[in-house]
């Protein structure tokens, strides 16, 4: 008889708890990718996470690392303060699109521009999730949200903000990549990007940010399956995947 072996387990970096995320939401996948990377790099015990305000506000209950719970949008400022005093630790912020690209725009730009040596996981699902589906700075043109019920009118609200493109305009070296997690091959690529981002931090090279296109079936009003296709057909075409900047200069 063939002996049974364990081939898939919960990473050390995650706690053994049930999350509050909605069915079909990809926060769970992204959490897991980060946790796996922390495990593989062997840094979990010296890692600090900074949770945002938004759906992932309770991330500190799910990760098995020390955590700070930040005011809305200010995670990069908290991370700056912490990392400057503890450069020996590994620090990451985990932020949504409202948190990072709206109220926290100033903090993320200045942290990136100072080249703070922490990693940001930027989860972009083009909507405010926790507050109930309002328009986000990354909501697509024509996309319906509770505060743009006729669809986003870009004549009045501007075009959705592309954070990787915007940040890549800074001269300070950084690692910026946009990935997605709606299909298995994308998940594999996303993990590679997250690992690379933490690797740059471990080497004390530069600020690193991985933008992850995510889903929000609840507020998009779609099934989980429809949502993955909506990422493929709509989000991905406005927010092209790829490496936007590396500290080495080449993309």
Partner 1 sequence: MAKILMKGNEAIAEAAVRAGAVNYFAYPITPQNEVGEYLARRLPEVGGVFLQAESEVAVGNMLFGAASTGKRVFTTSSSPGISLMQEAISYMAGAQLPVVLLNIMRGGPGLGGILPAQSDYFQATKGGGHGDYRLLVLAPSTIQEAVDLTMLAFHLADKYRNPVMIIGDGMIGQMMEPVEFPDSYTEPELPPKTWAATGADGRKPQVVKSLFLDPIALEKNNILLHEKYQAMKREEIRFECYKTAPKNKILLVAYGTMARICQTAIDELEGEGISVGLFRPITCFPFPEEALYAEATKSNIETVLTIEMSMGQMVEDVERVVARQRPVKFFGRTGGIVPSPEEVIQQIKQILASGQPTKVKV
Size of the site for partner 1 (CB under 8 A): 35
**Of the residues 67, 92, 128, 175, which one makes contact with partner 1 according to CB under 8 A:** 67
Residue range at the interface with partner 1 (CB under 8 A); choices 29-37, 62-70, 196-204, 231-239: 62-70
Q: How far is the CB of 50 from partner 1 (least distance, A)?
A: 7
| Nearer to partner 1 among residue 130 and residue 194 (C-beta) | 130
**Of the residues 25, 37, 78, 126, which one makes contact with partner 1 according to CB under 8 A:** 78
46 is an interface residue for partner 1 by CB under 8 A: yes
Q: Which residues contact 168 (CB under 8 A, 6 or more apart)?
A: 174, 176, 244, 245
Q: How far is CA 19 from CA 14, 23, 68, 154, in A?
A: 11, 10, 18, 35
**Of the residues 25, 37, 55, 77, which one makes contact with partner 1 according to CB under 8 A:** 77
What does the angle CA 95 – CA 70 – CA 130 come to, to the nearest 5 degrees? 55
Nearest to 138 by CA among 169, 178, 97, 106: 97
| Nearer to partner 1 among residue 63 and residue 230 (C-beta) | 63
Q: How far apart are alpha carbons 152 and 144 in whole angstroms?
A: 6
Q: How far apart are alpha carbons 7 and 130 in whole angstroms?
A: 34
**Of the residues 27, 31, 74, 162, which one makes contact with partner 1 according to CB under 8 A:** 74
35 is an interface residue for partner 1 by CB under 8 A: no
86 is an interface residue for partner 1 by CB under 8 A: yes
Helix axes 184-202, 27-41, angle to 10 degrees: 40
Measured between its terminal Cα atoms, the distance across the chain in Å is 50
Query: Which residues here bind partner 1, judged by CB under 8 A?
Result: 15, 44-48, 50-51, 57, 60, 63-71, 74, 77-86, 89, 106-107, 109-110
């Amino acid at each position: 008889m063939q002996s049974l072996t364990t081939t898939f387990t919960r990473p050390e970096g995650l706690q053994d708890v049930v999350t509050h995320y909605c069915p079909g939401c990809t926060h769970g996948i992204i959490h897991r990718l980060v946790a796996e990377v922390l495990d593989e790099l062997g840094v979990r015990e010296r890692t600090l996470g900074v949770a945002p305000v938004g759906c992932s506000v309770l991330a500190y209950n799910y990760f098995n690392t020390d955590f700070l719970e930040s005011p809305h949008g200010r995670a990069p400022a908290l991370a700056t303060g912490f990392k400057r005093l503890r450069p020996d630790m590994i620090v990451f912020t985990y932020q949504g699109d409202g948190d990072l690209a709206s109220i926290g725009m100033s903090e993320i730009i200045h942290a990136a521009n100072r080249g703070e040596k922490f990693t940001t996981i930027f989860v972009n699902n083009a909507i405010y999730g926790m507050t109930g589906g309002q328009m986000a700075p990354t909501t697509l043109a024509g996309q319906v949200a509770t505060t743009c019920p006729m669809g986003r009118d870009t004549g009045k609200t501007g075009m959705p903000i592309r954070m990787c493109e915007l940040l890549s305009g800074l001269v300070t070296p950084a690692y910026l990549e946009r990935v997605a997690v709606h299909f298995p091959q994308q998940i594999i690529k996303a993990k590679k990007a997250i690992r690379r981002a933490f690797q740059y931090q471990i080497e004390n090279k530069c600020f690193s940010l991985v933008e992850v296109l995510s889903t929000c079936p609840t507020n998009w009003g779609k099934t989980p399956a429809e949502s993955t296709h909506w990422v493929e057909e709509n989000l991905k075409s406005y927010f092209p995947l790829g490496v936007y900047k590396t500290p080495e200069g080449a993309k």
